[in-house]
Amino acid sequence: MKGSAFPTAVRGAGAGLAGLLLVLVAGCTGADSGAESTGGEGDGPVVEVTISPEDGASEVAPNSPITVEAADATITDVRVEQTGGSADAQNAPSDAPSASPSGDAALGAMTGTYNEDKTTWVSDWNLTPGAEVTVTATAENSDGEEAEVVSQFTTLEAVEGKRLELQSNFPTSGQTVGVGMPVIINFDLPVENKEQVENSMEVTSEEPVQGAWNWFGDQMAVFRPEEYWKPNQAVTVDLRLAGVEASEGVYGIENHQINFEVGREQITTVDDDAHTMTVERDGETVKTFPISNGRGDTRQYTTTSGVHLTMEKYEHLVMDSSTMGIPVDSPEGYKLDVNYAVRFSNSGEFTHAAPWNGQLGEANASHGCTNMSTADAKWFYEESLMGDPFIVTGTDRQLEVDNGWGYWQRSWEDWVANSATGEPDTTDGEGTPGDVHGEQEQAD
């Protein structure tokens, strides 16, 4: 959520309930929540401060915004603290290697947005379900005299079976990846309110670019920039999922942070007609290999053209045609032991050593993979990072956008149009394009 962010103590958000209205004479500070204070000798105007949700509210919808409003004064400070729920778990170590519940101070801190004259402050993010929340707001009148108001309330628990959690993510924290690497987030439950969830996930890079999220099904969100990442930089993904209402009555329960590095720029181009594979690193050609692609007599045995990404690699791999629906004992079946395999799609395509193929550089004779000599395959295996662009040209079978990580097959215009927000986001750390709160149910 973009805006003039005001950082406070601990992340959370409040509800849009009937507000807590305290009338204070400017100059009186430290008033108890729910009390009226009329002391003081100042001549300035009376300060009216409203905090929503109201003091003492219970089962506040976690996706409700905290709103602070001041009359005849400007708001000078808002602090939000929450305890309990899954908030405490955010500082605990995680067994999952992919992303950790965040104890990062910046991610844990609530931010909010002022209006132009600082008479209204609205929280940017959502609350942790089942938390006890304290909001402390300070306002100041034209004489410089301050008044402080406090509201304490609790949020609705996320019930078993309706807790949105991060199931997996690529890349994982600590990884170094190629310049084409997207951010892939898999959830454990379907997401209906995709716009609110998109706006709860913020990507920040050292060299800011435009990017956007797309959804592939209801449980997987993918972020990619307009163009490849600039090499040799850090990228942070803040998943502020706590309190977001993913579907009716389904709330995120924890925040997560993913930190990864973009490495050197390595782009590989395979020319199907010339039977060559050229590797460029940081704009310079470093290797050209003779190869043999899919023989092309059937669609299944035709190597896909388009912008692929290297996905995973195996020093040793058994390739079994039955995994592609072709029985091993059929005329077209196979079961091969291969070395130095690098996957570039989910339709069974790898680069790998094929010492039995005597047509490298001369003809296409494989089942769809890119065959190489053992020495060349070993070099490519050792030099590849997950997310390196791998571009194939010259075949009559196009890579589908959802075949492996074929996300660069979608034009930037179509990518933005397929985002739930319908607009790009800049990875500058200034927030996401829109609102994370959505509609809220009223608490009892």
Q: Is the dihedral of CA 345, 347, 348, 353 positive or negative?
A: negative
Question: Residue 241's closest CA among 289, 296, 172, 169?
Answer: 169
Three-class DSSP category at 281: strand
Question: Residue 69's closest CA among 1, 138, 106, 120?
Answer: 120
Determine which helix (DSSP H) or strand (DSSP E) holds 195, and give its type and residue range: helix 194-199
Q: How many residues does the chain have?
A: 444
- Residue 203, both tokens: 């990507």
Whole-number Å distance between alpha carbons of 311 and 263: 15
As separate numbers, helices (DSSP H) first and strands (DSSP E) second, the chain gives 4, 31
Angle of CA points 385, 94, 80, to nearest 5°: 110
The Cα-based distances of 24 to 6, 30, 141, 152, 306 in angstroms read: 24, 10, 11, 18, 66
Angle of CA points 157, 160, 163, to nearest 5°: 70
- Residue 341, both tokens: 């395999």
Whole-number Å distance between alpha carbons of 243 and 10: 14
Q: Is the dihedral of CA 437, 90, 106, 18 positive or negative?
A: positive
Rg (CA), the chain: 27
Are 203 and 183 within 8 A, CB to CB?
yes
| 28 in active site | no
Q: Which is catalytic among the residues 256, 275, 308, 352?
A: 352
How far is C-alpha 443 from the chain's CA centre? Answer: 30
| 437 in active site | no
Q: Which is catalytic among the residues 256, 308, 367, 369?
A: 369
Question: Residue 124's closest CA among 77, 195, 65?
Answer: 65
Catalytically active residues, by annotation: 352, 369
